[in-house]
């Protein structure tokens, strides 16, 4: 069983690759820099692509059970600190998703034997920002830049007309210690004995453990009844204060020094709102389909990731 993963060298892609490989899948990763890809499970093939065409790899879709589109520039940036969302960066983020999505759809259309499922990445930014309102897959989209996921989701719609089952994964805040992880940015102040709430600490963070992200995607690939949008978030979202207090407890650090919201937004601009404003998102459809979370609760999830 072969799976093509575009964006397979990113945080989610690497975790998904490990999950699929240990469960007997053959995996082909599409990468812009295949020579730089290291530390992948044995037997994983890396194929070069330019992120916008089918040249050199399109025929591989004929051999694949699933196509997983995780490609696109990181909204938070590649460095440790979040990058400001300049108009140039917004344009790059849009184009990276539009071009790669169209290429994957074109390869699917050209395939004589279509894949069984096309998995389209998205994010809970789709819903826009809310306070403590509970959001599910039926909640309407927002109207800010982060809600542009609703436009990027539409790019893969044509595969449904080809008879391919389409799954949209709206991922929450991905808890991992990999390079570029949002959790690393949350943890650092606590490691330096300066951790505390951001703003009033009441804004919700809808998180998911890296293992559940990968397991849930595999579940959706294998579940032939699953189609449409699914929130990939743990069933127990937590406030910023709850997350901070739990990090402090796990690391045995103090929790006392607040970071003013205005200072955070001043430092990071529009991207700072990903932390200073909240989303309380529930994985209702995933639970309805029968998925069982390995880490549904915050403290065990953080202990697993941050423990020695």
Domain assignment of residue 115, given as a range? 2-306
Give 250 or 50, the one with higher predicted confidence: 250
Kindly report the average pLDDT of the chain as a whole number. Answer: 86
On whether the pTM is more than 0.85, the answer is yes
Instruction: Please give the pLDDT value at position 177.
Output: 82
pLDDT at 268 over 90: no
Q: What are phi and psi of 259, to 5 degrees?
A: -105, 115
Instruction: Please give the pLDDT value at position 197.
Output: 86
Please give the structure tokens belonging to residue 68. 């997983």
Distances (CA, A) of 262 to 9, 269, 277: 34, 10, 12
pLDDT at 265 over 90: no
Check if the beta carbon of residue 67 is closer than 8 Å to that of residue 105.
no
Dihedral of the CA atoms 118, 122, 126, 131 (nearest 10)? 130
Give 16 or 131, the one with higher predicted confidence: 16
* Listed residue (231, 236, 234, 207) closest to 285, CA to CA: 231
Q: How many structural domains compose the chain?
A: 1
Residues 6+ apart with CB under 8 A from 275: 186, 198, 203, 205, 240, 264
Residues 6+ apart with CB under 8 A from 305: 175, 176, 177, 183, 209, 210
* Listed residue (261, 284, 136) closest to 201, CA to CA: 261
pLDDT at 222 over 90: yes
Instruction: Please give the pLDDT value at position 271.
Output: 53
Q: What is the pLDDT of residues 49-98, one digit of tens each?
A: 988 888 888 889 988 999 999 987 665 555 545 555 576 777 777 877 88
CATH code: domain of residue 251:
3.40.50.720
């Amino acid at each position: 069983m072969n799976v093509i993963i575009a964006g397979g060298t990113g945080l989610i892609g690497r975790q998904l690759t490990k999950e699929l490989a240990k469960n007997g899948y053959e995996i082909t990763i599409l990468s812009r820099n295949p020579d730089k890809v290291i530390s992948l499970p044995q037997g994983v093939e890396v194929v070069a692509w330019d992120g916008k065409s089918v040249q050199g790899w399109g025929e591989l879709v004929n051999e694949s059970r699933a196509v997983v589109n995780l490609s696109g520039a990181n909204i938070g940036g590649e460095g440790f600190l979040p990058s400001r969302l300049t108009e140039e960066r917004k344009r790059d983020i849009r184009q990276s998703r539009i071009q790669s999505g169209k290429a994957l759809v074109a390869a699917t259309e050209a395939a004589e034997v279509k894949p069984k499922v096309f998995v389209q990445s998205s994010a809970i930014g789709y819903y826009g920002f809310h306070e403590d309102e509970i959001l599910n897959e039926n909640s309407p989209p927002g109207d800010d830049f982060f809600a542009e996921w609703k436009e990027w989701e539409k790019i893969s719609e044509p595969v449904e007309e080809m008879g391919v089952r389409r799954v949209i994964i709206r991922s929450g805040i991905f808890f991992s210690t990999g390079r570029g992880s949002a959790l690393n940015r949350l943890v650092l102040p606590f490691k330096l004995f300066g951790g505390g709430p951001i703003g009033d600490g009441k804004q919700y963070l809808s998180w998911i453990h890296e293992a559940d992200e990968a397991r849930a995607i595999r579940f959706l690939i294998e579940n032939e009844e699953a189609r449409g949008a699914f929130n990939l978030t743990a069933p127990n979202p937590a406030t910023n204060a709850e997350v901070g207090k739990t990090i402090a407890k796990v690391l045995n650090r103090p929790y006392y020094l607040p970071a003013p919201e205005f200072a955070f937004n001043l430092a990071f601009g529009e991207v700072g709102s990903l932390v200073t404003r909240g989303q309380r998102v529930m994985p209702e459809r995933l639970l309805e389909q029968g998925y069982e979370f390995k880490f549904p609760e915050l403290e065990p999830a953080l202990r697993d990731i941050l423990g020695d």
